[in-house]
Structure 1
Amino acid sequence: MVRVDGEIAGFALIILDVPKEYTKLSSAEKTNVISDFFIMRKFRRKGVGKKVAYLLFDESQGVWEIKQTISNKQAYSFWKHVIKSYEGGNLLQEEMLQTEQWNGPVLLFESQRR
């Protein structure tokens, strides 16, 4: 749960150490996956989402797979910006997947100690 001054501002659902047979792009033995990430509209564009993402990356170092549906262009822009600005991060791969299981961009990213 994400809170700002005690008020619920959103949530993040992550799955840690996902085996490679269950990821879209990653061939790492274990990958962290952001399954859902939501910040309420009134808290957007205030750095809340970026701060939460950085905390997640810092707490669980390693390879991350982040997917967005093809229609969610705001999420795609957000994640591209967050990954690019995260010090100690490295965008490993970006691919547009169109399969029965997924239709949209997938970002493969590695976080390391800052």
Structure 2
Amino acid sequence: MAVPIELLQTGPEHVDLVRNLYQFYAYESSDWEQEDIEVDGRFYIHEPHFQRYWASPDWSASLILVDGFIAGFVLVERSELPGIDALELADLFVLKKYRRLGVGRAVARQVLGEGAHDWLLRCHVEDAPALAFCQALVADLPRPVREIPLDDEPALRNYLVTQRLH
């Protein structure tokens, strides 16, 4: 079933909206991240890092719209890992209502196919659905992909998507 999907890059006026959506993302990952909520009933967000999506070059936060309704978000960062000159698809979140419709795959393919630069995709090994999604995604991308070893986070599988098209 084809659904109309749109990526809408956010501006500083959308910080609270993305912060609210991030709470759903944090909730879903809390079982394998072992995160607890703060005393205010919300999951922790490191504000200086979060603000960079609207202040730093090559960082962005986009809303995923399906048929005009907010269906999730995508966070992109410039990798700051030594030796990695790539943008990173840092977080991709799709609300449960819109899963299994191809929304996540379409968004990831669009993002990872954009621009004349390499992309870093990192997937947590304890998040079985996300890891399966990543593995299926990288097997089907129109750009070359290779798994790379990185020592900063042992619980992550790391994929480098290069700009050269097949």
TM, length-normalised to structure 2: 0.54
The answer to whether the 8 Å contact 1:57/1:111 transfers is: no
1:91: which partner in 2? Answer: 145
- Larger relative strand fraction: 1
CA distance 1:13–1:56, change in 2 (3 Å): same
Q: Is 1:23 matched with 2:81?
A: yes
Aligned 8 A contact 1:83 1:91 in 2: yes
Question: 2:74 is matched by which residue type in structure 1?
Answer: A
Q: Cα 1:91–1:47, aligned 2, differ >3 Å: closer, same or farther?
A: same
Counterpart of 2:58?
none
Structure 2 residue runs without a partner (length 5+):
1-62
Question: In the comparison of the two structures, how many residue pairs are matched?
Answer: 104
- Assess, with a 3 A threshold, how the Cα gap between structure 1 residues 32 and 53 changes in structure 2: closer, same or farther: same
Query: What is the Cα deviation at residue 94 of structure 1?
Result: 4.1
Asked which structure has the greater RCO (Cα within 8 Å, sep 6+), the reply is 1
Is 1:51 matched with 2:106? yes
- Provide the residue aligned with 2:59 in structure 1: none
RMSD: 2.3
Q: Deviations over 1:4-54 (max 9, x none)?
A: 0111111000114x3xxx227xx34x2010111101111111111111112
2:90 to 29, 35, 51: 35
Deviation string, structure 1 residues 63-91 (Cα, Å, up to 9, x no partner):
2111122311111111111121122x111
Write 1 or 2 for the structure with the bigger share of helix. Answer: 2
2-structure distance, mates of 1:65, 1:59? 13
Which has the higher Rg, Structure 1 or Structure 2? 2
Q: What fraction of aligned residue pairs are identical, expressed as a percent?
A: 23
Amino acid at match of 1:110: T
For 2:151 and 2:86, the matched residues in 1 are separated by 21
1:93 partner letter: E
Deviates most, 101-110 or 7-16: 101-110
Counterparts of 2:135 and 2:161 in 1: how far apart (Å)?
10
State the partner residue of 2:38.
none
Aligned-partner Cα distance in 1 for 2:76–2:95: 18
**TM-score, length basis structure 1:** 0.75
